[in-house]
Structure formats: C-alpha cells, structure tokens
Amino acid sequence: MPSKAKTNKPKLTSIDNVVIGYIHPGQVSAFFTHSLIMSLMSDQGLHRRIVGIEQDWSSANVSASRNTVTQRFLDDYTADWLWWIDADMAWEPEALEQLLAVADPVNAPIVGGLCFGASNGELFPTIYQLAEFEGGITTVRMHDFEPNTVIPVAATGAAFLLIHRSALEAIKARAYNKTFTWFQETEMGGRPVGEDITFCLRALESGFKTFVHTGVEVGHHKSQLLTADLHRQQRAAVKADEGTEDV
C-alpha cells in the first residue's frame, strides 16, 4: 500500500492555480487515465493552471482519504482551487476551463460538473435540493434540469468538484469534527447522508453556495459508462410513458 506520509513540497502560487485531488483503491479506470492525461496536455498548451496532483489510497472509509488530500492541499499549496475528480470518471479536456469560467471565490466558490449515479439500472444526476420529509429536512435528487446551465444546488457529489480554498478554510474554522473536518458520512432527518453531501451542507452553513454546471458532462465508469446521453434516453422513455414532454 502506498504511504500516506506527507511530502515536503514547495508552496506554489499564482492566480487561478488548480490542484487535482483524487482517491483510489489501488487502481483507476482507463477512462480516468485517458481524461487526466488529455487535461494535463491541454493545460500545458494553454494556461498552465494545474500546479499539482494529490492522491491517497482509499479503503471503504472514503471520508478519511478525502480529508487527508484536502489537508495536504491547504498545507502544501497556495493555489486557489482544489479540483476533486473520482478515479472512475471520464471528461473532456476543456472541462476545467468551463468550470473556471463560471467559478468565483465569492459568488460561485464550489462548482461541480454534471455527473451520474445509478440505482437499479436507472441513472440519476447527482443534483440535490432540500425538501421536507416526514416533518424534517432532507436532500432529494432532482432528475430534470436545464441543459448547459449553472444551477444552484443544496449539494452535489465530490466526483467532479471544483472548490475554492476559502470555502475549505471556513469549514475548518467552524470545527464540525476534529477528525472528519470536511467530509464525513452523517445523517439528516433520520436518513444516512454521504460524505460529499455533508461537505456541501457544511459549506452552505459556512456561507458558501454550491452549483452544478450542466454543460460540463462527465461520464461515470461502472459496468458501463454512465453519461448524460444515456440519462436523456432514459428520461425521454419515462416521459413518453407518462405522456409528458421532457424538460
């Protein structure tokens, strides 16, 4: 198993510098590898924003590894943005520039791409809003959304998420949990909540909003590649059965 020991690196600084962070169980998807290489090549030929890559071995407790990488980012860099990418994602080389074009330290400090999960074979976008449930507040999935739009959300996944360091520093200052500073599996309204949703809710409580850019379409490599096209096909079929038009 690779060592998790902190390395001594010089702190790097520049306007809109980005550090890529990812966690893995010892292997990554070929889609991830290809996309990462293409993004690095594109960035080298354009703005050279990417100043580092941080990774950590992840067991079943992904929160611990996410927090380790986040702390390294704050300790070892003065870069503006931490760009989380899960090791089973696929994306286009221009995705970083698309996210940065709408991201802003004050107005849009946390921006995710359009990612998908699957439940019983049905795709769902990782777009969550708050709703009442059995007398409490919880998060619900939003299946329909406007294309190529930046939409405010209560939460999204950390699979493809650009975060400004000021949001990370503010969450840390609130001291939610000494061990799980940013990411932690918790509960909300009596229901389990993933570590990424917890992060977004902590950010919101700290004054930092989360957005999803639905024009940045990201693939998710499971038994098949979960893509926006596949989701559109499934939603069109559902709408046809319901006798309504798709959004």
Q: Give the model confidence (pLDDT) of 192-220 as tens digits.
A: 889 999 999 999 999 999 999 999 999 99
- The DSSP call for residue 194 is -
Residue 63 β-bridge partners: none
Please write the tens of the pLDDT for every residue from 170-182: 999 999 999 999 9
Instruction: For residue 100, give the 3-state DSSP assignment.
Output: helix
φ/ψ of 157, rounded to 5, equals: -75, 165
- Cβ–Cβ < 8 Å for 32, 89: yes
| Residue 69 parent element (H or E) | helix 62-76
- Cβ–Cβ < 8 Å for 61, 195: no
Q: Residue 234 contacts by C-beta under 8 Å, 6 or more apart in sequence?
A: 122, 123
What percent of the chain has a predicted confidence (pLDDT) above 90?
75
Q: Report the predicted TM-score, pTM, of the whole model to 2 decimal places.
A: 0.87
- The DSSP call for residue 58 is -
For residue 23, is it left (φ>0), alpha (ψ between -120 and 50) or beta?
beta
Average pLDDT value over all residues in the chain: 90
pLDDT of residue 16: 83
Residue 42: pLDDT band (50, 70, 90) is very high
- Cβ–Cβ < 8 Å for 49, 80: no
pLDDT of residue 15: 60
Six-digit token pair at 86? Answer: 């899960």
- Cβ–Cβ < 8 Å for 128, 142: yes
Instruction: For residue 66, give the 3-state DSSP assignment.
Output: helix
Six-digit token pair at 212? Answer: 């999803």
- Cβ–Cβ < 8 Å for 162, 110: yes
The residue-averaged pLDDT of 5-24 equals 68
By mean pLDDT, which of 73-77, 93-97, 184-188, 194-198 is the weakest?
184-188
The CA angle 204-127-79, to the nearest 5 degrees, is 55
Please write the tens of the pLDDT for every residue from 122-165: 899 999 999 877 767 888 899 999 999 999 999 999 999 999 99
Q: In 3D, which of 127, 128, 141, 118 has the Cα closest to residue 226?
A: 118
Gyration radius of the chain over CA positions? 18
Q: What span, in angstroms and rounded, lies between the C-alpha atoms of 48 and 100?
A: 13
